Homo-oligomer: A and B are copies of this chain.
Amino acid sequence: MANLDSIFHCLSDTTRRAVIAQLVNGPAPVSELAASHEMALPSFLKHINVLEKSGWIETNKSGRIRTCRLRPETVRAAEGWLEQQRRHWEARLDRLDAFLANMNEAEDKE
């Protein structure tokens, strides 16, 4: 499992995010993925390598065809970190709401 640095770095590029969005629909050969990007193949292959090294995809070669497959545990790792931040944030706002409600109640009683 790659670390969060490289997992998030991988998402900082439009082409790589587009490849992930393509692979969400199922495994696909590199040639098919490349066809929908206006980019020289060597440049595209660099993105594929970054995706593989960071743990977003795994690739298998069978004959001349290299197939890419998304690793869902990486989607969950990235989403998990963000979800954790949002939950802590919301929990804090809930505590703030409760505090303000208590204050209003105390004022009403006065």
Cβ 8 A contact of A24, one of B17, B21, B70, B89: B89
Chain A, interface SS category: helix
- The answer to whether A12 touches B21, judged by C-beta atoms less than 8 angstroms apart, is no
Proximity string of chain A (20-31) to chain B, C-beta cutoff 8 Å, 1 when within and 0 when not: 110011100000
* Total copies of this chain within the assembly: 2
- The answer to whether A82 touches B79, judged by C-beta atoms less than 8 angstroms apart, is yes
- The answer to whether B92 touches A72, judged by C-beta atoms less than 8 angstroms apart, is no
Interface-facing stretch out of A3-11, A41-49, A57-65: A3-11
Complex CA gap A86/B24 in Å reads 8
On A, residues with C-beta under 8 Å from B are 4-6, 8-9, 11-14, 17, 20-21, 24-26, 70, 72, 75-76, 78-79, 81-83, 85-86, 88-89, 92
Question: 24 pairs across A/B with beta carbons < 8 Å?
Answer: A4-B14, A5-B13, A8-B8, A8-B9, A8-B11, A9-B9, A11-B11, A11-B81, A17-B81, A20-B85, A21-B88, A24-B88, A24-B89, A24-B92, A25-B88, A25-B92, A26-B92, A70-B89, A72-B89, A75-B86, A78-B82, A79-B82, A79-B83, A82-B82
